[in-house]
Amino acid sequence: MKTEHDAHLGTGGELHQQANAEHLPLTTQQGVAVSDNQNSLRAHPQGPTLLEDFILREKITHFDHERIPERIVHARGSGAHGFFELTHSLEEFTTAKVLTEVGVKTPVFSRISTVAGGSGSSDTPRDVRGFAIKFYTPQGNWDIVGNNIPVFFIQDAIKFPDLVHAVKMEPDRGFPQAASAHDTFWDFISLTPESMHMVMWIMSDRTLPRSLRMIEGFGVHSFRLLNAAGEPTFVKFHWRPRLGLQSTVWDETVKIAGADPDFHRRELFEALGAGEVAEWDFAVQLFTQAEADKFPFNHLDATKLIPEELVPLQVIGRLVLDRWPDNFFAETEQVAFCPSHLVPGIDFSNDPLLQGRLFSYLDTQLSRLGSPNFAQLPINAPKCPFAHQQRDGHMQMAQPRGRVAYEPSSLARDAPRADRATGFASVALDEGGTRGRARAASFADHYSQARQFWISQTAPEQAHLASALVFELSKVEHPHVRQAMVGHLRLVDETLAQRVSTGLGLSELPEPANPALPVQDLPASPALSLIGKARDTLAGRAIAILVADGSDGVAIAALKKAAAAAGARVKLVAPRVGGITLASGKKLAVDGQLAGTPSVLFDAVALVLSEPAGKALCREAAAVDFVRDAYGHLKAIATDAGAQALLMASGIEPDAGVVGVGDVKAFLAAAATRQWAREKSVRTLA
């Protein structure tokens, strides 16, 4: 007889059952056979995870301690200081001062990271970006430890070690680094239907950001706000970039990784150094339990999002990052984020992935930083008064005085005491039910929101997503894994499955996967499109002007002045870094040498060349690639008469995005966006 758990797993559950019939039973390190490796022990299907779950604790504890001292995931990151300013009070819903005191600027430190790669990997792989913020509030530190994607691969934290082991380098060969295009990852995904929604996100352009300043942030889980009367309200947290969303295209991404592995880190460093900022609107989705009960999904399921059309976002503040760390190791590497770091007025939900993270992150910091005193490091220390009775331990940096190190006491009049009036209070809930290793039946819908995401994308985004699936699955050596994935895609969208199947050269469509619940036809959500959230602006963008001896100084000056006025940063690129001699005879310094400063590092390019220089550069592969890549990556190109030979040598067919250097206004307008109409003429997509 199928249990609710088996039905929930669908095809994956059946495959795992078959595997268990052929292999040794899975056990703990103590040799105890494990009956269920998919679900944590919970008070009831929608209840909290229980601390007594020794299988969960052993599995995650070992996982957390696997590597020292680099983070197991999110090892490659960049951070910055700044502030959060509240613009609209949530006093009706919470007692947290950071969310009720309008106009107060709360200091923050944020770290944005890739997930799969090590600390020495590149900035630009196809990957989720972690987005963590530490608020140094007057009530203590509050950490939001989220991502640039609102959902996740798994529903229960007990599966997190399996997910990361699958996506990391394969243990017998030590590669690939920072890549999901390999067998172990897709084998795991093919047996884990709950991951299908997340797969749509990671194969989309969301995982190829142009800049760390151009990503969204999400708290992922539902949390609770608690007001002065003790009344709870569910909340989801969102960050919206003021510069709008912007991605790269895949070929461009690959070339950026080779040209500048530190592309994102360098861009943020240079922007902050130039007096620019990274800025996001902070928004919330607020809803009650009664409203949640009417959703066509379970909001405690981390593989689901709440569409903005269902619960609109309310912008209540802004996050501004404006200062690079003084020391990268002391701050960016030693900062310790934990989702368990909350302040009074905010509480957890029973999301089983969140519940496991509450244990895992603290345990990880103990391993990585080597001491329970990691909170004494300056980057982690609260900026408000604090007092506790925790003493000694490795790397104790404080010097507590007196004989009292416990509570309550009568020997020290000023010893800290618990305070019911101002202290942290948990939401009072009746968690009655039958405990067991199970998930709520509503968690079993794995395809409806994946389909919703697909139909919400624009045509270029759908083409990129399908092509990404073809690229990734083409790297998989085992045919049955590729076929299984196409079977899952048939439940998302038949056209998508056919496009991927054709791209993989399958002779026929595999049978569709067996869903545990019928797939719902949810309405499209325009908010899920990245292109729809892009902004036609040059703020935060970079423009390269290719110059050489004999270039027109007047044209260069006009372009630089107009682009800078529009908010772009401009760099001059030349065959030699020592500078050029203009047509007027004047010397001009340049910012980069042609071979080391390719067009992939910029959002648009201009070619200001004399006729002899243009012809000479036709024999230079780096120059031809400079122009050809800019065109192929859908960027605007401004060109003068002297550059026409180079344009022809690059095989460029002029379109609306290729304009004359003299028409600065038209060039800047084209440079503010991608030339999506050009894409079909430069590459074949699935």
Q: How do 604-607 and 636-639 pair as beta strands?
A: parallel
Residues 355, 348 contacting (CB under 8 angstroms): yes
Residues 331, 80 contacting (CB under 8 angstroms): no
- Per DSSP, the three-state class of 132 is strand
The encoded tokens of residue 502 equal 């054709």
- Per DSSP, the three-state class of 485 is helix
What are the residues whose beta carbons fall under 8 Å from the beta carbon of 144, sequence distance 6 or more? 132, 133, 135, 217, 219, 237, 339
* Residues recognised as catalytic: 74, 147
Q: For CA atoms 52, 341, 315, 537, give the dihedral sign.
A: negative
Residues 180, 167 contacting (CB under 8 angstroms): yes
Q: What angle separates helix 250-259 from helix 263-273, to the nearest 10 degrees?
A: 70
Residues 126, 207 contacting (CB under 8 angstroms): yes
Rounded-to-integer distance, Cα 357 and Cα 388, Å = 24
Neighbours of 676 (CB within 10 A): 15
For residue 525, give the amino acid letter. Answer: S
Phi, psi of 48 (to 5 degrees): -75, 155
Residue 515: is the preceding peptide bond cis (ω within 30°)? no
How is the chain split among helix, strand and coil, in percent rounded to 5?
Answer: 35, 15, 50
Rounded-to-integer distance, Cα 110 and Cα 112, Å = 7
Q: Which of 673, 666, 580, 582 is nearest to 634 (CA)?
A: 673
Exposed, middle or buried by CB within 10 Å (0-12, 13-18, 19+), for 480?
A: exposed
- Per DSSP, the three-state class of 482 is helix
Residues 283, 315 contacting (CB under 8 angstroms): yes
What are the residues whose beta carbons fall under 8 Å from the beta carbon of 186, sequence distance 6 or more? 180, 472, 473, 476, 481, 482, 485
The encoded tokens of residue 178 equal 């920072």
The encoded tokens of residue 29 equal 């390190």
Tokens 């792989």 correspond to 125
Residues 563, 552 contacting (CB under 8 angstroms): no
Rounded-to-integer distance, Cα 114 and Cα 98, Å = 28
Residues 459, 479 contacting (CB under 8 angstroms): no
For residue 603, give the amino acid letter. Answer: D
Q: For CA atoms 594, 599, 604, 608, give the dihedral sign.
A: positive
The encoded tokens of residue 650 equal 């690059």
Could you write out the DSSP letters of every residue in 298-317? Answer: -TT-TT----TTTS--EEEE
The encoded tokens of residue 326 equal 């003084």
Residues in the chain: 686
